[in-house]
Amino acid sequence: MGIRVAILLVTAVLAKADSANTLAGITPETSWKHYRNKQWGYCVSYPANWLKGDAFEGSGIFVKARVRKQSRLTGEIDVGAFSEVAKDSSQPVPIRLIESFETHLEGLKRFERAQQLEVLEKRPTELLGYAALFTKDRYFDPQDGAMWIDEIVLVHRGQTLYTLELECHFEQIARFEPVFKQFVSTFQFDCR
């Protein structure tokens, strides 16, 4: 009787874990789709079973795991490109990765009403031979009453700032972070 109960318990736990992964749209990602932005000169791959939409006035995309109708969004990944030449000027405005990150933080506070914002990690890095900045922050969103994690890779190439970003519920980071790392690893310039 004890073995039978143990087997049932293990089966129930595994079924619940599998169900939770399916609900979040996070399943072992074996199939990826390719996105190429000719105008901004980059490409990236994303999980084939995720929803894709345009972002940043055509300079990027967002992808998110499919969720059931009653479920709320628990995570999203996006990529975008931003010119250092101001729209009202032909003169370049120098891109500084730290300043771009600080502008992002201000945007979180102002537009998404982030509270209890805490920068967990901020370090210079490199992506494809270009100067980059990796950041990770955590904040409370009062609109949905949850803690969120935000990971960003900011890359400066030529006169363009590229951003790759993961936003997810704090408790979902173990599911979304590996997908984000794979997403970043597929990012390329000058794709054919």
The total number of residues written for the chain in this structure? 192
Name, in order, each residue with C-beta under 8 angstroms of 33's C-beta and a sequence gap of 6 or more.
45, 46, 47, 48, 52
Note the pLDDT of residue 71: 57
CB neighbour class for 29 (10 Å; exposed up to 12, middle 13-18, buried from 19): middle
CA dist 60 and 162 (Å) reads: 9
Q: Return the half-sphere exposure (C-beta side, CA atoms, 13 A cut-off) of residue 183.
A: 25
CB 153 within 8 A of CB 178: no
Q: Is the pLDDT of residue 157 over 80?
A: yes
Higher pLDDT: 11 or 86? It is: 86
Name, in order, each residue with C-beta under 8 angstroms of 10's C-beta and a sequence gap of 6 or more.
none
Q: Give the confidence band of 104 by pLDDT, cuts at 50, 70, 90.
A: low
Start-end of H helices in 1-138: 2-23, 97-111
- Fold classification of 30-189 is Protein Transport Mog1p; Chain A (3.40.1000)
CB 49 within 8 A of CB 22: no
Note the pLDDT of residue 131: 87
Q: pLDDT tens for residues 109-151? A: 666 677 788 889 989 999 999 988 899 989 898 888 889 999 9
Q: pLDDT tens for residues 8-54? A: 233 333 333 333 444 344 445 569 999 999 989 999 999 998 989 88
What's the 3-state SS for 34-73? EEEECCCCEEEEEECCCEEEEEHHHCEEEEECCCCCCCCC
Name, in order, each residue with C-beta under 8 angstroms of 53's C-beta and a sequence gap of 6 or more.
61, 62, 63
Average pLDDT value for residue range 84-102: 58
CA dist 84 and 86 (Å) reads: 6
